Protein backbone atom coordinates (compact mmCIF):
# COMPACT_ATOMS: atom_id res chain seq x y z
CA UNK A 1 0.00 0.00 0.00
CA UNK A 2 2.79 2.36 1.01
CA UNK A 3 4.69 1.52 -2.18
CA UNK A 4 1.60 2.32 -4.24
CA UNK A 5 1.17 5.65 -2.48
CA UNK A 6 4.82 6.58 -3.04
CA UNK A 7 4.53 5.64 -6.73
CA UNK A 8 1.37 7.69 -7.06
CA UNK A 9 2.94 10.67 -5.32
CA UNK A 10 6.03 10.50 -7.53
CA UNK A 11 3.90 10.23 -10.67
CA UNK A 12 1.88 13.24 -9.59
CA UNK A 13 5.04 15.17 -8.81
CA UNK A 14 6.54 14.38 -12.20
CA UNK A 15 3.32 15.32 -13.95
CA UNK A 16 3.02 18.63 -12.15
CA UNK A 17 6.71 19.49 -11.92
CA UNK A 18 8.65 21.67 -14.30
CA UNK A 19 9.38 20.34 -17.75
CA UNK A 20 12.99 19.27 -17.91
CA UNK A 21 15.55 20.97 -20.14
CA UNK A 22 13.71 24.25 -20.48
CA UNK A 23 14.94 27.67 -19.55
CA UNK A 24 11.80 29.13 -18.01
CA UNK A 25 11.36 32.90 -18.23
CA UNK A 26 8.10 34.26 -16.79
CA UNK A 27 6.75 37.37 -18.46
CA UNK A 28 4.56 39.31 -16.04
CA UNK A 29 2.88 41.30 -18.77
CA UNK A 30 -0.01 43.70 -18.95
CA UNK A 31 -1.82 43.53 -22.23
CA UNK A 32 -5.09 44.76 -20.76
CA UNK A 33 -6.18 47.72 -18.65
CA UNK A 34 -5.23 51.37 -18.58
CA UNK A 35 -1.48 50.77 -18.91
CA UNK A 36 -1.68 48.20 -21.72
CA UNK A 37 -0.36 50.63 -24.33
CA UNK A 38 3.06 50.49 -22.64
CA UNK A 39 2.85 46.89 -21.50
CA UNK A 40 2.08 45.37 -24.91
CA UNK A 41 5.12 46.54 -26.90
CA UNK A 42 7.48 45.77 -24.00
CA UNK A 43 6.11 42.26 -23.70
CA UNK A 44 6.17 41.76 -27.47
CA UNK A 45 9.86 42.69 -27.57
CA UNK A 46 10.62 40.50 -24.56
CA UNK A 47 8.89 37.47 -26.10
CA UNK A 48 10.13 37.99 -29.65
CA UNK A 49 13.79 37.99 -28.65
CA UNK A 50 13.48 34.62 -26.94
CA UNK A 51 11.50 33.30 -29.93
CA UNK A 52 14.36 34.46 -32.14
CA UNK A 53 16.88 32.58 -30.01
CA UNK A 54 14.75 29.43 -30.11
CA UNK A 55 14.13 29.58 -33.86
CA UNK A 56 17.59 30.67 -34.96
CA UNK A 57 19.91 29.13 -32.36
CA UNK A 58 17.79 26.36 -30.86
CA UNK A 59 17.64 28.22 -27.56
CA UNK A 60 20.54 29.27 -25.37
CA UNK A 61 23.43 26.83 -25.07
CA UNK A 62 21.23 24.27 -26.80
CA UNK A 63 18.43 24.54 -24.27
CA UNK A 64 15.17 26.05 -25.52
CA UNK A 65 13.67 29.01 -23.72
CA UNK A 66 10.07 28.74 -22.54
CA UNK A 67 8.41 32.08 -21.85
CA UNK A 68 5.48 31.79 -19.43
CA UNK A 69 3.29 34.83 -19.81
CA UNK A 70 1.02 35.92 -16.97
CA UNK A 71 -1.30 38.93 -17.17
CA UNK A 72 -0.97 41.38 -14.28
CA UNK A 73 -2.99 44.30 -15.63
CA UNK A 74 -0.32 46.46 -13.88
CA UNK A 75 -2.08 45.45 -10.69
CA UNK A 76 0.20 44.69 -7.74
CA UNK A 77 -1.97 41.93 -6.25
CA UNK A 78 -2.26 40.19 -9.62
CA UNK A 79 1.49 40.57 -10.10
CA UNK A 80 2.15 38.75 -6.85
CA UNK A 81 -0.36 36.04 -7.84
CA UNK A 82 1.48 35.64 -11.15
CA UNK A 83 4.77 35.29 -9.29
CA UNK A 84 3.37 32.64 -6.97
CA UNK A 85 1.78 30.70 -9.80
CA UNK A 86 4.88 30.66 -12.04
CA UNK A 87 7.84 30.37 -9.67
CA UNK A 88 7.31 26.63 -9.29
CA UNK A 89 7.98 26.10 -12.99
CA UNK A 90 11.67 26.76 -12.47
CA UNK A 91 11.49 30.49 -13.19
CA UNK A 92 14.98 31.89 -13.82
CA UNK A 93 14.29 35.63 -13.62
CA UNK A 94 11.34 37.99 -13.18
CA UNK A 95 10.86 41.29 -15.02
CA UNK A 96 7.50 42.72 -13.84
CA UNK A 97 7.69 46.19 -15.45
CA UNK A 98 6.01 47.70 -12.40
CA UNK A 99 7.53 49.43 -9.42
CA UNK A 100 4.54 48.47 -7.27
CA UNK A 101 4.91 44.78 -8.05
CA UNK A 102 8.68 45.05 -7.62
CA UNK A 103 8.34 46.31 -4.04
CA UNK A 104 6.14 43.31 -3.20
CA UNK A 105 8.43 40.80 -4.89
CA UNK A 106 11.73 41.91 -3.36
CA UNK A 107 11.34 39.94 -0.10
CA UNK A 108 9.76 37.02 -1.93
CA UNK A 109 12.49 36.55 -4.54
CA UNK A 110 15.13 36.92 -1.86
CA UNK A 111 13.54 34.15 0.19
CA UNK A 112 12.98 31.94 -2.87
CA UNK A 113 16.45 32.53 -4.33
CA UNK A 114 15.14 33.77 -7.69
CA UNK A 115 16.65 36.87 -9.32
CA UNK A 116 14.55 39.93 -10.13
CA UNK A 117 15.58 42.32 -12.88
CA UNK A 118 13.94 45.75 -12.75
CA UNK A 119 15.52 47.53 -15.68
CA UNK A 120 15.11 51.27 -15.29
CA UNK A 121 12.40 51.00 -12.61
CA UNK A 122 11.68 49.49 -9.20
CA UNK A 123 13.46 50.18 -5.94
CA UNK A 124 16.46 52.30 -6.84
CA UNK A 125 18.60 51.39 -3.85
CA UNK A 126 18.45 47.76 -5.01
CA UNK A 127 21.53 48.77 -6.98
CA UNK A 128 23.40 47.99 -3.77
CA UNK A 129 24.16 44.29 -4.21
CA UNK A 130 25.54 44.07 -0.69
CA UNK A 131 21.99 44.37 0.65
CA UNK A 132 19.79 43.26 -2.26
CA UNK A 133 21.30 39.92 -3.20
CA UNK A 134 18.62 38.92 -5.71
CA UNK A 135 17.56 42.24 -7.18
CA UNK A 136 19.24 43.89 -10.17
CA UNK A 137 18.36 47.20 -11.81
CA UNK A 138 21.10 47.62 -14.41
CA UNK A 139 21.86 49.46 -16.64
CA UNK A 140 20.19 52.55 -15.10
CA UNK A 141 17.78 53.44 -12.33
CA UNK A 142 15.42 56.31 -11.49
CA UNK A 143 18.04 58.29 -9.62
CA UNK A 144 20.32 58.04 -12.64
CA UNK A 145 17.36 59.33 -14.62
CA UNK A 146 16.81 62.30 -12.31
CA UNK A 147 20.50 63.13 -12.36
CA UNK A 148 20.67 62.58 -16.13
CA UNK A 149 17.90 65.12 -16.66
CA UNK A 150 19.64 67.68 -14.44
CA UNK A 151 23.01 67.03 -16.10
CA UNK A 152 21.42 67.65 -19.47
CA UNK A 153 19.94 70.93 -18.23
CA UNK A 154 23.31 71.87 -16.74
CA UNK A 155 24.89 71.34 -20.16
CA UNK A 156 22.20 73.50 -21.74
CA UNK A 157 22.84 76.28 -19.22
CA UNK A 158 26.61 76.36 -19.29
CA UNK A 159 26.90 74.30 -16.11
CA UNK A 160 24.86 76.67 -13.96
CA UNK A 161 21.27 76.12 -12.88
CA UNK A 162 21.27 78.50 -9.93
CA UNK A 163 18.10 80.56 -9.79
CA UNK A 164 16.34 78.38 -12.34
CA UNK A 165 12.90 76.97 -11.58
CA UNK A 166 12.25 73.29 -12.30
CA UNK A 167 8.86 71.63 -11.82
CA UNK A 168 8.50 67.88 -11.39
CA UNK A 169 5.14 66.59 -12.65
CA UNK A 170 4.89 63.05 -11.30
CA UNK A 171 2.55 60.08 -11.05
CA UNK A 172 1.40 60.11 -7.43
CA UNK A 173 2.61 56.57 -6.70
CA UNK A 174 5.71 54.73 -5.49
CA UNK A 175 7.04 54.98 -9.03
CA UNK A 176 6.46 58.69 -9.44
CA UNK A 177 7.90 59.58 -6.06
CA UNK A 178 11.22 57.78 -6.67
CA UNK A 179 13.16 60.76 -8.13
CA UNK A 180 12.06 63.33 -5.54
CA UNK A 181 14.91 62.90 -3.04
CA UNK A 182 17.53 62.93 -5.77
CA UNK A 183 16.09 66.06 -7.34
CA UNK A 184 15.92 67.72 -3.92
CA UNK A 185 19.57 66.90 -3.18
CA UNK A 186 20.61 68.06 -6.63
CA UNK A 187 18.62 71.27 -6.04
CA UNK A 188 20.74 71.94 -2.96
CA UNK A 189 23.90 71.22 -4.92
CA UNK A 190 23.09 73.23 -8.05
CA UNK A 191 20.87 75.95 -6.61
CA UNK A 192 17.71 75.49 -8.63
CA UNK A 193 14.24 75.79 -7.15
CA UNK A 194 12.17 72.59 -7.29
CA UNK A 195 8.35 72.53 -7.39
CA UNK A 196 6.57 69.21 -6.90
CA UNK A 197 3.31 68.62 -8.77
CA UNK A 198 1.74 65.21 -8.11
CA UNK A 199 -0.89 63.82 -10.48
CA UNK A 200 -3.29 61.18 -9.19
CA UNK A 201 -3.86 57.88 -11.00
CA UNK A 202 -4.59 57.57 -13.84
CA UNK A 203 -3.80 61.19 -14.77
CA UNK A 204 -6.68 61.92 -17.11
CA UNK A 205 -7.31 65.30 -15.47
CA UNK A 206 -4.27 67.58 -14.96
CA UNK A 207 -5.75 71.03 -15.42
CA UNK A 208 -4.75 72.23 -11.92
CA UNK A 209 -1.12 71.20 -12.34
CA UNK A 210 -0.73 72.90 -15.72
CA UNK A 211 -2.50 76.05 -14.59
CA UNK A 212 0.02 76.21 -11.76
CA UNK A 213 2.85 75.75 -14.26
CA UNK A 214 1.38 78.53 -16.37
CA UNK A 215 1.20 80.84 -13.33
CA UNK A 216 4.60 80.05 -11.88
CA UNK A 217 6.42 79.83 -15.21
CA UNK A 218 9.14 77.28 -14.36
CA UNK A 219 12.09 77.24 -16.73
CA UNK A 220 11.85 73.49 -17.15
CA UNK A 221 9.34 70.73 -16.48
CA UNK A 222 10.55 67.22 -15.71
CA UNK A 223 7.94 64.45 -15.89
CA UNK A 224 7.73 61.04 -14.21
CA UNK A 225 4.59 59.69 -15.84
CA UNK A 226 3.13 56.43 -17.12
CA UNK A 227 0.02 55.57 -19.08
CA UNK A 228 -2.55 58.20 -19.93
CA UNK A 229 -0.78 60.71 -17.69
CA UNK A 230 1.91 61.13 -20.35
CA UNK A 231 -0.42 61.87 -23.24
CA UNK A 232 -2.51 64.31 -21.21
CA UNK A 233 0.60 66.10 -19.89
CA UNK A 234 2.06 66.59 -23.37
CA UNK A 235 -1.32 67.84 -24.61
CA UNK A 236 -1.75 70.21 -21.66
CA UNK A 237 1.79 71.54 -22.12
CA UNK A 238 0.95 72.22 -25.76
CA UNK A 239 -2.34 73.88 -24.73
CA UNK A 240 -0.65 76.35 -22.38
CA UNK A 241 2.10 76.84 -24.96
CA UNK A 242 4.84 75.68 -22.66
CA UNK A 243 8.04 75.43 -24.73
CA UNK A 244 8.32 71.72 -25.58
CA UNK A 245 12.11 71.82 -25.73
CA UNK A 246 12.06 72.66 -22.00
CA UNK A 247 9.89 69.64 -21.16
CA UNK A 248 11.74 66.39 -20.38
CA UNK A 249 10.18 63.06 -19.47
CA UNK A 250 11.75 60.01 -17.89
CA UNK A 251 12.24 57.01 -20.21
CA UNK A 252 8.77 55.70 -19.32
CA UNK A 253 7.31 58.96 -20.62
CA UNK A 254 9.07 58.83 -23.94
CA UNK A 255 7.29 56.42 -26.27
CA UNK A 256 5.66 57.21 -29.60
CA UNK A 257 2.16 56.79 -28.19
CA UNK A 258 2.93 59.35 -25.47
CA UNK A 259 3.37 62.16 -27.99
CA UNK A 260 1.35 61.18 -31.05
CA UNK A 261 -2.08 62.20 -29.68
CA UNK A 262 -0.84 65.81 -29.35
CA UNK A 263 0.10 65.91 -33.04
CA UNK A 264 2.54 68.50 -34.36
CA UNK A 265 2.48 70.46 -31.12
CA UNK A 266 4.49 67.71 -29.43
CA UNK A 267 7.55 68.42 -31.58
CA UNK A 268 10.54 69.29 -29.43
CA UNK A 269 9.47 67.26 -26.38
CA UNK A 270 12.42 65.40 -24.88
CA UNK A 271 12.81 62.15 -22.97
CA UNK A 272 15.57 60.23 -21.26
CA UNK A 273 16.69 56.85 -22.54
CA UNK A 274 19.05 53.97 -21.83
CA UNK A 275 18.27 52.00 -24.99
CA UNK A 276 18.70 52.45 -28.72
CA UNK A 277 16.08 53.87 -31.09
CA UNK A 278 14.39 52.44 -34.16
CA UNK A 279 15.03 49.20 -36.02
CA UNK A 280 18.28 50.02 -37.81
CA UNK A 281 20.16 47.18 -36.15
CA UNK A 282 21.19 43.84 -37.71
CA UNK A 283 19.24 41.95 -35.05
CA UNK A 284 16.06 43.22 -36.69
CA UNK A 285 16.92 41.42 -39.93
CA UNK A 286 16.87 38.17 -37.99
CA UNK A 287 13.76 39.15 -36.05
CA UNK A 288 11.92 39.76 -39.32
CA UNK A 289 13.21 36.52 -40.88
CA UNK A 290 12.78 34.12 -37.97
CA UNK A 291 9.96 35.73 -36.01
CA UNK A 292 7.76 38.21 -37.91
CA UNK A 293 7.80 36.61 -41.37
CA UNK A 294 7.45 33.18 -39.82
CA UNK A 295 4.26 34.33 -38.11
CA UNK A 296 5.71 33.77 -34.65
CA UNK A 297 5.46 37.33 -33.31
CA UNK A 298 4.15 37.64 -29.78
CA UNK A 299 1.70 40.36 -30.74
CA UNK A 300 0.45 41.76 -34.00
CA UNK A 301 4.06 42.19 -35.16
CA UNK A 302 3.54 45.92 -35.69
CA UNK A 303 5.61 47.18 -32.77
CA UNK A 304 9.12 46.37 -34.02
CA UNK A 305 11.45 49.33 -33.55
CA UNK A 306 9.04 51.17 -31.25
CA UNK A 307 10.58 52.59 -28.07
CA UNK A 308 8.95 50.21 -25.59
CA UNK A 309 9.39 47.23 -27.91
CA UNK A 310 13.12 47.97 -27.97
CA UNK A 311 13.12 48.12 -24.15
CA UNK A 312 11.53 44.67 -23.96
CA UNK A 313 13.97 43.38 -26.56
CA UNK A 314 16.89 44.81 -24.62
CA UNK A 315 15.65 43.32 -21.32
CA UNK A 316 15.39 39.90 -22.99
CA UNK A 317 18.85 40.27 -24.50
CA UNK A 318 20.32 41.10 -21.07
CA UNK A 319 18.54 38.08 -19.56
CA UNK A 320 19.83 35.76 -22.29
CA UNK A 321 23.38 37.08 -21.89
CA UNK A 322 23.15 36.46 -18.15
CA UNK A 323 21.99 32.90 -18.90
CA UNK A 324 25.01 32.41 -21.17
CA UNK A 325 27.29 33.76 -18.44
CA UNK A 326 25.73 31.42 -15.89
CA UNK A 327 26.07 28.45 -18.24
CA UNK A 328 29.77 29.21 -18.70
CA UNK A 329 30.36 29.79 -14.97
CA UNK A 330 28.72 26.55 -13.89
CA UNK A 331 29.42 24.46 -17.01
CA UNK A 332 25.75 23.49 -17.09
CA UNK A 333 23.32 24.28 -19.89
CA UNK A 334 20.09 23.78 -17.96
CA UNK A 335 20.75 26.30 -15.19
CA UNK A 336 18.88 26.89 -11.92
CA UNK A 337 17.63 30.27 -10.60
CA UNK A 338 20.61 30.40 -8.22
CA UNK A 339 23.00 29.96 -11.15
CA UNK A 340 21.08 32.62 -13.06
CA UNK A 341 21.64 35.01 -10.16
CA UNK A 342 25.37 34.30 -10.34
CA UNK A 343 25.27 34.93 -14.08
CA UNK A 344 23.53 38.26 -13.62
CA UNK A 345 26.04 39.28 -10.98
CA UNK A 346 28.94 38.49 -13.33
CA UNK A 347 27.33 39.97 -16.45
CA UNK A 348 29.57 42.07 -18.64
CA UNK A 349 28.17 43.92 -21.62
CA UNK A 350 30.81 45.15 -24.02
CA UNK A 351 30.47 46.83 -27.39
CA UNK A 352 32.04 43.78 -29.00
CA UNK A 353 29.44 41.53 -27.41
CA UNK A 354 26.56 43.76 -28.50
CA UNK A 355 28.00 43.99 -32.02
CA UNK A 356 28.09 40.20 -32.17
CA UNK A 357 24.41 40.17 -31.24
CA UNK A 358 23.53 42.63 -33.96
CA UNK A 359 22.79 45.32 -31.38
CA UNK A 360 25.84 47.53 -31.52
CA UNK A 361 25.26 50.70 -29.50
CA UNK A 362 21.78 49.53 -28.47
CA UNK A 363 22.70 50.11 -24.83
CA UNK A 364 25.68 51.31 -22.84
CA UNK A 365 28.72 49.20 -22.00
CA UNK A 366 28.62 48.02 -18.39
CA UNK A 367 29.54 45.28 -15.98
CA UNK A 368 27.74 44.04 -12.88
CA UNK A 369 29.43 43.05 -9.65
CA UNK A 370 28.53 41.73 -6.23
CA UNK A 371 28.49 45.28 -4.87
CA UNK A 372 26.98 47.02 -7.86
CA UNK A 373 23.74 45.59 -9.24
CA UNK A 374 22.85 48.86 -10.94
CA UNK A 375 25.47 49.22 -13.62
CA UNK A 376 27.01 52.55 -14.58
CA UNK A 377 23.76 54.54 -14.83
CA UNK A 378 24.49 56.13 -18.18
CA UNK A 379 21.62 58.20 -19.53
CA UNK A 380 20.90 59.53 -23.02
CA UNK A 381 18.38 62.13 -24.20
CA UNK A 382 16.05 61.88 -27.20
CA UNK A 383 13.77 64.43 -28.83
CA UNK A 384 10.49 63.96 -30.71
CA UNK A 385 9.96 65.17 -34.24
CA UNK A 386 6.28 64.94 -35.14
CA UNK A 387 6.87 65.73 -38.81
CA UNK A 388 8.80 62.48 -39.29
CA UNK A 389 7.19 60.63 -36.39
CA UNK A 390 10.57 59.73 -34.94
CA UNK A 391 12.67 60.17 -31.84
CA UNK A 392 16.16 61.48 -32.44
CA UNK A 393 19.01 60.98 -29.99
CA UNK A 394 20.35 64.42 -29.04
CA UNK A 395 22.67 63.27 -26.26
CA UNK A 396 24.68 60.05 -26.13
CA UNK A 397 24.73 57.89 -22.99
CA UNK A 398 26.46 60.02 -20.37
CA UNK A 399 27.50 59.53 -16.76
CA UNK A 400 25.27 60.74 -13.94
CA UNK A 401 26.08 62.17 -10.50
CA UNK A 402 27.64 59.12 -8.83
CA UNK A 403 28.46 61.07 -5.66
CA UNK A 404 24.89 62.10 -4.86
CA UNK A 405 23.29 58.87 -6.10
CA UNK A 406 25.86 56.72 -4.28
CA UNK A 407 25.12 58.50 -1.02
CA UNK A 408 21.36 58.08 -1.45
CA UNK A 409 21.70 54.41 -2.35
CA UNK A 410 23.90 53.79 0.68
CA UNK A 411 21.43 55.54 3.02
CA UNK A 412 18.30 53.86 1.66
CA UNK A 413 19.77 50.37 1.41
CA UNK A 414 21.26 50.66 4.92
CA UNK A 415 17.79 51.52 6.25
CA UNK A 416 16.32 48.52 4.39
CA UNK A 417 19.07 46.24 5.75
CA UNK A 418 18.40 47.44 9.30
CA UNK A 419 14.63 46.92 8.93
CA UNK A 420 15.06 43.42 7.57
CA UNK A 421 18.09 42.26 9.58
CA UNK A 422 20.21 41.80 6.48
CA UNK A 423 23.96 41.44 6.93
CA UNK A 424 25.87 43.06 4.07
CA UNK A 425 27.53 40.59 1.73
CA UNK A 426 30.43 40.84 -0.78
CA UNK A 427 33.02 41.16 1.99
Residues that bind another protein (CB under 8 A): 31-37, 40, 172, 196-205, 207-209, 211-212, 214-215, 227-228, 231-232, 235, 238-241, 257, 260-261, 263, 265, 295, 300, 302
Are the CB atoms for 179 and 198 separated by under 8 Å?
no
Provide the minimum distance between the beta carbon of 53 and another protein in the complex, in angstroms, as a whole number: 23
Provide the minimum distance between the beta carbon of 82 and another protein in the complex, in angstroms, as a whole number: 18
Provide the minimum distance between the beta carbon of 67 and another protein in the complex, in angstroms, as a whole number: 18
Whole-angstrom CA distances from 279 to 45, 252, 287, 302, 396 are 12, 19, 10, 12, 18
HSE (CB half, 13 Å, CA atoms) of 179?
A: 35
Q: Which is nearest to 47 in space by CA: 293, 264, 320?
A: 320
Q: Which lies closer to another protein via its Cβ, residue 62 or residue 389?
A: 389
Q: Which lies closer to another protein via its Cβ, residue 218 or residue 380?
A: 218
Q: Which lies closer to another protein via its Cβ, residue 188 or residue 200?
A: 200
Provide the minimum distance between the beta carbon of 226 and another protein in the complex, in angstroms, as a whole number: 11
Strands 135-136 and 379-385, by their bridges, are: unpaired
Are the CB atoms for 409 and 124 separated by under 8 Å?
yes
Are the CB atoms for 270 and 392 separated by under 8 Å?
no
Provide the minimum distance between the beta carbon of 387 and another protein in the complex, in angstroms, as a whole number: 15
Provide the minimum distance between the beta carbon of 203 and another protein in the complex, in angstroms, as a whole number: 8
Q: Which lies closer to another protein via its Cβ, residue 245 or residue 371?
A: 245
Q: Which lies closer to another protein via its Cβ, residue 47 or residue 413?
A: 47
Provide the minimum distance between the beta carbon of 159 and another protein in the complex, in angstroms, as a whole number: 31
Are the CB atoms for 77 and 112 separated by under 8 Å?
no
Q: Which lies closer to another protein via its Cβ, residue 257 or residue 416?
A: 257
Provide the minimum distance between the beta carbon of 34 and another protein in the complex, in angstroms, as a whole number: 4
Q: Which lies closer to another protein via its Cβ, residue 4 or residue 217?
A: 217
Are the CB atoms for 327 and 344 separated by under 8 Å?
no
Q: Which lies closer to another protein via its Cβ, residue 213 or residue 340?
A: 213
Provide the minimum distance between the beta carbon of 273 and another protein in the complex, in angstroms, as a whole number: 20
Provide the minimum distance between the beta carbon of 229 and another protein in the complex, in angstroms, as a whole number: 9
Q: Which lies closer to another protein via its Cβ, residue 9 or residue 196?
A: 196
End-to-end CA, the chain = 53
Q: Which lies closer to another protein via its Cβ, residue 207 or residue 425?
A: 207
CA dist 427 and 380 (Å) reads 33
User: 52 in the Ramachandran plot: left (φ > 0), alpha (ψ -120 to 50) or beta?
Assistant: alpha
Give the Cβ contact number of residue 417 at 10 Å.
17
Length of the chain equals 427
Amino acid sequence: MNKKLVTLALSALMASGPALADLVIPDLSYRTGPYAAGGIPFSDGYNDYFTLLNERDGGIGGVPVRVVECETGYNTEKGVECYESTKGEGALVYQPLSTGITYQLIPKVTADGIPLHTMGYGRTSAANGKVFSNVFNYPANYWNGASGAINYLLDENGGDLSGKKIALVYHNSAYGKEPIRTLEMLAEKHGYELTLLPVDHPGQEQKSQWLQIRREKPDYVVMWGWGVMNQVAVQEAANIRFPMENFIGVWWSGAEFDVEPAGDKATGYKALTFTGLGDDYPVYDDLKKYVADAGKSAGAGDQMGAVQYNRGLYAAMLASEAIKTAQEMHSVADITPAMMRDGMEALEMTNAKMEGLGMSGFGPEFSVSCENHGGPGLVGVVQWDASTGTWNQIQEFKATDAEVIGQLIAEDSAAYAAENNISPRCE
